Chain A
């Protein structure tokens, strides 16, 4: 029992120490990509996992975050640290605007609306040449730099690894609080039974808007880091497959579970890399692995139900 308390700290310590033992730049780079997807999966977990709203256009949130930073950086020379805040807040607002159709719809119909919104966003980015650079995207986005020590993150993966790790830990810290709060309960009630939730005094509009807002906020952070690391972004990076992959991470990891989203994102980014030796069979094996996984663990790798049933008892 005592030992179990230390496990999260050990995992965090291991995550921080990892780049010092593994100097392979490729490994770290894969983990940075995984980290961005972890943030995205955590954001989508709020919308799909907690509030139970199927969102098939999450790539739009990611894109909005990335383009917001790119634009404020290129035109107004806002540094990364300010850019993160601007991106996160702007994407949260964008998410809430997208949620307005969600107030009238639910279930499959809503999923189609989010799918449409995702595609519209990509098409707008492709065609709004003056602002977004069209298909060429935006170039010359500043990498983050630490102002005090005048350290530029540049193109190496290692600093981004730590940057993302810190953001992931912060997001997990706040999501854990939300999970057991009044808002977290309201979201789950909404997921379980919308009608009963409204009869229990939950303002459905408020619950849905905050879910989209917070999900967007997290996706905005992910987008901003992505843009800052790449230095260049184009609409190709935000197509429908991104939405589907992030959704697969959430479902495979475990709907409604924070750690499930983290694991799902790690597995689905690292697994295809491990399969590179199989060249053209790569995606086939990947697909089969996913099907098998869902057959044997339909509620995900880290099922939220199992997880939630235990700790409450310890309180008494």
Chain B
């Protein structure tokens, strides 16, 4: 228990004064915040606030113009790293619009997710010594267990684009979990889901957190954000306008203004 508390004290992700510009638009403006190990943190904000840009910076798809991002126990600097190197550091993500590998089966999708955890290179793949086959078999079983966790095991051999929308969303999370990440970034996981599916999603997210994975999620639906978030960061026009516990955010004046506009005088 003590150990748990010590872990919770520790910031797994530190964002420090990150700025990202696209031409004249400042998508992120000196943004700083931290995510604690083992928590569910949410990033919310109106459309175009820079939430997805933030994820793209963390995962190396964009290079921030200034600022730094540090991750993990040894606080690795993520700034100059390639996306695949960041993935190998145990950061995994999903996408706002589903980006599954459409013409690959559900099982193959999950196994691609485990790419950075597999060791066989070109010659390993060609010659296939025993250790490669053992590794592949083990990863296949693990992929089956993951699909099972998301109640998708019956769909293991279906092509991803033949799956129902809700299943595709879950498969994307399963794929992201395959690399056994320490930090999972979910970009609007509940988008397009019906209330029952959202309920189900909440269960999955808490279960993932209870396994020790830290989650950062972008979400518009407050019914999803409020009950599970330990910490919420609110962005507007690339700036952090508020930060705190769900309760604090709910009655924060600036947040309400950002969403609804200022009351008429």
Contact = CB atoms under 8 A, between A and B. Distances in A.
B101 A202 contact: no
A203 B108 CA distance: 18
B193 interface: no
A271 B147 CA distance: 46
> Do most interface residues of chain A lie in helix, strand or loop, or is the interface mixed?
helix
B118 interface: yes
Nearest to A315: B140
A193 interface: yes
A200 B104 contact: no
A204 B84 contact: yes
A204 B85 CA distance: 11
A184 interface: yes
Interface in A80-115: none
Contacts of B112: 185-186, 188-189, 197, 200, 202
Contacts of B99: 193, 195-196
B32 interface: no
> Do most interface residues of chain B lie in helix, strand or loop, or is the interface mixed?
mixed
B122 A185 contact: no
Contact of B100 (A177, A178, A196): A196
Interface stretch (A14-22, A130-138, A306-314): A306-314
A183 B122 contact: yes
Contacts of B84: 198, 201-204
Contact of A185 (B61, B92, B111): B111
A140 B228 CA distance: 77
Given A203-B82, A305-B103, A313 B126 contact: no
Nearest to B162: A309
A201 B116 contact: yes
Interface in B48-96: 59, 61, 82-84, 87-88, 92-93, 95
Nearest to A210: B122
A185 B108 contact: yes
Given A181-B128, A182-B118, A200 B102 contact: no
Nearest to B158: A309
Interface residues of A, number: 32
A205 to B, nearest CB: 9
B113 A200 contact: yes
Interface in A205-224: 210, 213-214
A192 interface: yes
A181 B136 contact: yes
Of A181, A184, A199, most buried by chain B (CB within 10 Å of CB) is A199
Nearest to A196: B99
B49 to A, nearest CB: 21
B126 A189 contact: no
B36 interface: no
B250 interface: no
A192 B126 CA distance: 22
A221 B135 CA distance: 31
B120 interface: yes
A195 B61 contact: yes
Contacts of B136: 181-182
B101 A189 contact: yes
Interface in B102-128: 102-105, 107-108, 111-113, 115-116, 118, 120-122, 124-126, 128
Of A184, A185, A200, most buried by chain B (CB within 10 Å of CB) is A200
A193 B103 CA distance: 10
Contacts of A202: 84, 112, 115
A192 B128 contact: no
B128 A177 contact: yes
Contacts of B159: 305, 309
A174 B59 CA distance: 34
A201 B84 CA distance: 4
Contacts of A195: 61, 99
A184 to B, nearest CB: 7
Given A177-B125, A181-B128, A200 B87 contact: yes
14 contacts: A181-B136, A182-B124, A185-B108, A192-B100, A192-B102, A193-B99, A193-B100, A196-B99, A196-B101, A198-B61, A199-B92, A199-B93, A199-B95, A214-B122
Given A188-B101, A189-B101, 15 more contacts: A177-B128, A181-B125, A181-B136, A182-B136, A186-B112, A188-B108, A192-B103, A193-B102, A196-B99, A199-B83, A199-B92, A200-B92, A201-B84, A202-B112, A213-B122
Closest 9 CB pairs of A and B: A201-B116, A201-B87, A181-B125, A192-B101, A198-B83, A196-B99, A183-B125, A189-B112, A203-B84
